Amino acid sequence: MSTIDPHLQMLAEQIGDQIAGRLIERLRQGELPVAPEYLTAFQVAQLTGFTPKGLENMRAKRIGPPYLKVGNSVRYRAADVRAWMEAGGEA
């Protein structure tokens, strides 16, 4: 038997429904990121535990996960980073 007040339970469900509706709408409008195929150095740093500067140093030494240059930006394919990590992620 639940000890939660039925009125509070109903309120929580209404809030949840409103949040879900807003998230779905923002997703449809392209405002929410969906597991990107290309990652920034900051995102790769979060995944790997290296710092963005550490990744920059690896790029200079031509080691670390494969990357691409897009204009002046560096991007990493998520699949390449995963494969690199699964292979041991040697620096």
Shared domain for 50 and 70, answered yes or no, is: yes
Q: Is residue 50 part of a domain?
A: yes
Q: Is residue 43 part of a domain?
A: yes
pLDDT single digits (tens) 10-41: 999 999 999 999 988 887 776 666 668 899 99
pTM metric for this prediction: 0.61
Give me the sign of the Cα torsion angle 74, 77, 78, 80: negative
pLDDT score for 91? 60
Spatial CA neighbour of 38 closest among 68, 75, 65, 90: 75
Q: Is residue 91 part of a domain?
A: no
Neighbouring C-beta atoms of residue 27, cutoff 10 Å: 12
Total count of domains within the chain = 2
Shared domain for 46 and 74, answered yes or no, is: yes
Shared domain for 44 and 82, answered yes or no, is: yes
**Domain range spanning residue 18?**
1-33
